[in-house]
Amino acid sequence: MIRKFISRVLGRKSSGNRSEPAIIAVAQHGLQRDQISRGCRQTVEALQENGFLAYIVGGAVRDLLAGLTPKDFDVATNATPEQVRRCFRRSRIIGRRFQIVHVHMGSETIEVTTFRGHHNEEHAGNKAHTDAQGRVLRDNVFGSQAEDAARRDFTVNALYYDPTSEAIIDYHHGVADLQQKTLRMIGDPKTRYREDPVRMLRAVRLAAKLGLAIDPAARRPIREMADLIENVPPSRLFDEMLKLLTSGHALRCVTRLREEGLHNGVLPLLDVILEQPLGERFVKLALEATDRRVDQGKPISPGFLFATLLWHQLLATWEPLTRRGEPAIPSLFVAMDEVLNVQAEKLAITRRIAGDIKDIWGLQPRFEQRSGKRPYGVLQQPRFKAGYDFLLLRAESGEVDPTISVWWTDFLHAGDEARAAMLLPAPAGAAAKKRRRRRRRPPEGSAPNPSAPE
């Protein structure tokens, strides 16, 4: 017991540059070659036949060992990208910063990466470029397999599986950590977070996805280092947040982000939202629904997701404008731009997704209009279904009168006659207002009133 403990401690001490890996046989780990996709196996075999080392590595090995279905298969090899490309007819070198090769096998695309080398100061000549906070900006040196293992983030992510021998090459006790349900950082956690603060988000996501506890040494520094997230380019943060929110464990991840003090850098107002009972309930329902969809293999719309996460922030921005007497719809659009602009500084929501978010939000006040021709117009909107699902969530969270969402559900499923019978009478004074509006013409030469209702 004590020996095991000491050897573990010693093993950890040198975990950053261990070069003698454990070779773990299939009898011990149980991962069989037929669990690997055919395309991936063929890729590894072809590289091996050409005299190169080649393994399945990273998330796929980890997920299979944990009993999960991998999203994709990555291969690591000692062949250079050019050598890889020569082994496969259907392959292409991609990437500028660090070249990888996409190998096409049937309908599969396998990502083949050459072992990467060290990027710390100890290795003169291979010095990585870092920013003032120590974040690695360039890291594009080929290396040995041991070096490749050492530069991966967590021990469970540094496992190399050889489908030919069915053995796992384990440099950092990843198999044992997975069995003990621990997410452990390779090397010194603080240094690794400084090099790449996204690793803090990955820790939360992978722990939630795999049901692992973050090792205290890796967990402790997160709170004090959380601010480093602010240095990460917004587009990278967006990709990582999207992964986190579509992981199937979004609720657990967001709760955990908050517990670790990590949410400020990514969704700055999440704390404020989650402190209001209505906001908290709404976000919780939305994330639960997302996790259910992932579980059922249904697609997730990023626009819908971010629309839910930012909705109460939008309400908080919109409400003071209408309270000041500004017309509802134009001020809604002003509030939308404000919320999305603030968010864009942290997290680069793509233009297309921002468009989807606005469509969903913009439909919400229109659901309240249930007289005349308006409901028919709403039904015709391209984003009607998403807007309607959003309305259901609002009703479920208690923010909207449920008679409105029930009315829309009935209206959606009713035939023409039933629909006509469902329409509410025009609100008192609406007809007169409409007539007045028609009659009113702006005086000659005056600017159009931007806040006039549509």
Residues interacting with ligand ATP, by CB under 6 A?
58-59, 71, 74, 152-153, 157-158, 196, 198-199, 202, 243
d(CA 390, CA 410): 16
* Residue 72 annotated among the catalytic residues of the structure: yes
The reply on whether position 59 binds Mg ion by CB under 5 A is yes
Would you say 200 and 226 are in contact if contact means Cβ atoms under 8 Å apart?
A: yes
**Which is closer to ligand ATP, CB of 64 or CB of 314?**
64
- The catalytically annotated residue of 34, 139, 148, 153 is 153
Residue 170: exposure state from Cβ atoms within 10 A (0-12, 13-18, ≥19): buried
Q: Binding-site residue total for Mg ion (CB under 5 A)? A: 1
Separation of alpha carbons 317 and 324, rounded Å: 12
**Of these partners, ligand ATP, Mg ion, none, which one is at the site of residue 326 (CB under 5 to 8 Å by kind)?**
none
**Sheet harboring 22-24: ordered strands across?**
22-24, 167-170, 159-162, 54-57, 74-77, 108-114, 100-105, 91-94
| Contact window for Mg ion (CB under 5 A) among 14-22, 40-48, 57-65, 366-374 | 57-65
Residue 162 interface partner, choices ligand ATP, Mg ion, none, CB cut-off 5-8 Å depending on type: none
Q: How far is CA 178 from CA 124, 155, 170, 181, 243, in A?
A: 34, 9, 12, 5, 21
Cα–Cα distance measured from residue 73 to residue 31, given in angstroms and rounded to the nearest whole number: 14
Q: Which of 72, 188, 359, 389 is catalytic?
A: 72
Closest residue by beta carbon to Mg ion: 59
Kindly indicate which of the ranges 53-61, 92-100, 113-121, 299-307 contains the residues binding Mg ion, using the contact rule CB under 5 A. 53-61
User: CA–CA separation, 69 vs 423, rounded Å?
Assistant: 49
Which among Mg ion, ligand ATP, none contacts residue 33 (Cβ within 5 to 8 A by kind)? none
Is 139 designated active site?
no
- Which among ligand ATP, Mg ion, none contacts residue 356 (Cβ within 5 to 8 A by kind)? none
153 binding partner (options ligand ATP, Mg ion, none; Cβ < 5 to 8 Å by kind) = ligand ATP
Two tokens, residue 3: 């020996």
The H-or-E segment that residue 57 falls in is strand 54-57
Task: Return the range that interacts with Mg ion (CB under 5 A); candidates 52-60, 133-141, 185-193, 273-281.
Answer: 52-60
Minimal distance, residue 98 CB to Mg ion, in Å: 16
Catalytic residue status for 148: no
Task: Determine if 246 is a binding residue for Mg ion (CB under 5 A).
Answer: no
What is the C-alpha to C-alpha distance for residues 336 and 31, in angstroms, rounded to an integer?
A: 50
Residue of minimal Cβ distance to ligand ATP: 59
- Residue 50 to residue 238: CA distance in whole angstroms: 39
- What are the catalytic residues? 72, 74, 153
